[in-house]
DNA sequence: TTGTTTTGTCTAT
DNA sequence: ATAGACAAAACAA
């Protein structure tokens, strides 16, 4: 990881991006305070727009490292449309595996937001979130709010 | 509602 | 090999 910087919007904290060879390798959601990003690049720009509700999909160069199973899960998660949710069980069914295994893979997601694992919820509750449930709640509400807007 | 069992994958012995 | 941990779900009572 050769660079990282931070950005703050109104959310629970700030978003930190880690790069390698110019590609985003890890996205970290924290609860610290921080200012806007000092480094401007496409990934920051897109995430900033996303957090303002002005952008509904993220697409920038990333490096994804994980087991083949995890990659399979993450790929499926990336298909979930903005503002919509799916349950661990439904996702597991699509992949021919178990909800428990899906949760485990999502927990390991190195690129939250880019891989929108916040859109995966439990059948009768929110389910968990590696960065903490408040972030999940925030992201779901953000998308619910901006879903209708152009 | 609450426990208890079932479940696939991963990590660490 | 095998045992234990999980961002879950299904079931019994």
The pTM (predicted TM-score) of the whole model is 0.93
> CB closer than 7 A to strand B: which residues?
A 67-70, 97-98, 100-101, 103-105
Of the pLDDT bands very low, low, confident and very high (cuts 50, 70, 90), residue A132 is very high
pLDDT at position A134 over 90: yes
Contacts 24+ apart (CB under 8 A), A50-56: A50/A113, A51/A9, A51/A10, A51/A11, A51/A15, A51/A142, A52/A9, A53/A142, A53/A145, A53/A146, A53/A149, A56/A82, A56/A83, A56/A146
Please state which of the ranges A23-32, A33-42, A140-149 shows the lowest mean pLDDT: A33-42
A29-65 pLDDT, tens digit each? 999 987 788 878 999 999 999 999 999 999 999 999 9
> Strand C: which nucleotides have any atom within 7 A of a protein Cβ?
5-10
For residue A70, is it left (φ>0), alpha (ψ between -120 and 50) or beta?
Answer: alpha
pLDDT at position A3 over 90: no
State the Cα–Cα distance between residues A34 and A68, nearest whole angstrom: 35
CA A91 to C1' C12, whole Å: 26
Query: φ, ψ for residue A25 (rounded to 5)?
Result: -105, -30
A59-118 pLDDT, tens digit each? 999 999 999 999 999 999 999 999 999 999 999 999 999 999 999 999 999 999 999 999
Residues of A annotated as part of the active site: 117
């Amino acid at each position: 990881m050769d660079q990282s910087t931070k950005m703050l919007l109104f959310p629970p904290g700030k978003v930190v991006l880690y790069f390698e060879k110019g590609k985003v390798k890890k996205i970290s959601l924290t609860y610290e305070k921080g200012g806007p990003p000092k480094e401007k690049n496409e990934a920051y720009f897109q995430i900033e727009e996303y957090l303002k509700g002005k952008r509904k999909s993220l697409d920038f160069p990333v490096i994804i490292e994980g087991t083949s199973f995890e990659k399979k899960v993450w790929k499926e998660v990336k298909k979930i449309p903005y503002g919509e949710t799916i349950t661990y069980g439904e996702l597991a069914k699509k992949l021919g595996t178990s909800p428990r295994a899906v949760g485990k893979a999502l927990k390991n997601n190195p690129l939250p937001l880019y891989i929108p694992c916040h859109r995966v919820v439990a059948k009768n509750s929110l389910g968990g979130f590696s960065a903490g449930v408040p972030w999940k709640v925030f992201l779901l509400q953000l998308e619910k709010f901006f879903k209708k807007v152009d």
